[in-house]
Amino acid sequence: MTNFLQRTTIACVFSAIVILVIILTLAPSVDAAGGITPPSGVSLSFPPFTSAINCSTDASARTTWKPSDMCRIQDGGREVMFSVDFATSIRYQYYRKVQLWIPGTRYAASFSTTFVVAFLRGSERVEDGNYNPFGGGIAFAMTPDQRVGRGSAETLGLFEIDERTGKSLRGANTKTFAVEIDTVRMSTVPSFNDPQTPHVGVDINGVKSTAAASLGTFQQFVDRKIAIFIDYDAQQQLLQVRLQNLGFAGNSTQTPDKRRARLYLNIHNLRVSSIVNPQSYVGFSSSIPEDDHGVYILYDWKFTTKWVPINY
């Protein structure tokens, strides 16, 4: 009887140990600070441009063009041309959402993105020496959905706006962070007070930029490849935006180099996790030009995230 009890006790203890091991194996990993270990960072790199980036359009737009015509992949996938027969807005965003912060934890994603774009005038404008704005510009955007904003070119396709204030009409559902390259909104527009176009600005749930800087004159800006570098440090709550003029698009041989780019925006105390949803779409939003006025060309795009501990 004693041996039987001893064997039974040993078997029970062994079973308990096995169950405990299984529980520990299945449980989420925990870091030294007692929080859940964050997922791996994201790394996106184009070209080649593929169907992994979705082109969303305004269904109410006065156009017969298909999305694949407005966001036309060309040159063997090495570039995308944005244009349309009648001015409208589009989104060109990665097809699925990206994790940017984790509710209930002390982690958020720092991110870096680089892209090269050119705003090219139509042939008649080149012949006439016409540097007037065409289209509305382009913005790198983090959004809760891929629904294109309707309205004037000033919306950049981000959301519908109050034309007097620039605020989104989508209210608490806006959840949008964007860095715009604005080619249409002039400083004379009431209540905006942005620099003359072209300019770079940061938009938070509205197109009245919280910070902006002039990019010079259109003569210095159009028909050239422009590299944009956007870096956000979630731990330091610091956003930096740099631009590098790579020269005329037709014969430029320069490659993007952040060390040679000029710092235009240096914004402190910016908590992106308080602006966007934990999972958001990333990519571009643009009010694209009519094709006889000009086209926008996207040559490359890279986006990466790195998880960092935060104390806010």
Supply the pLDDT for residue 191. Answer: 56
| pLDDT tens readout for residues 227-258 | 999 999 999 999 999 999 999 998 999 999 99
Identity of the amino acid at 75: D
Percent of the chain with pLDDT over 70: 86
DSSP element (H, E) containing 16 = helix 2-26
With a cut of 80, say whether residue 146 has pLDDT above it: yes
Query: What is the average pLDDT across 21-35?
Result: 39
Tokens of 306: 């790195």
CATH class of the region 39-309:
mainly beta
User: How many whole angstroms separate alpha carbon 55 and alpha carbon 288?
Assistant: 12
Sorted by where each begins, the domain ranges of the chain are 39-309
With a cut of 60, say whether residue 4 has pLDDT above it: no
| pLDDT tens readout for residues 64-122 | 899 999 999 999 999 999 999 998 999 999 999 999 999 999 999 999 999 999 999 99
Count CA within 13 A, CB hemisphere, residue 310. 27
Supply the pLDDT for residue 41. Answer: 95
Supply the pLDDT for residue 261. Answer: 98
Q: In the chain, where do the E strands start and end?
A: 43-46, 53-57, 71-74, 79-82, 88-94, 98-99, 107-121, 137-143, 177-182, 199-204, 211-214, 224-233, 238-248, 262-267, 279-288, 294-309
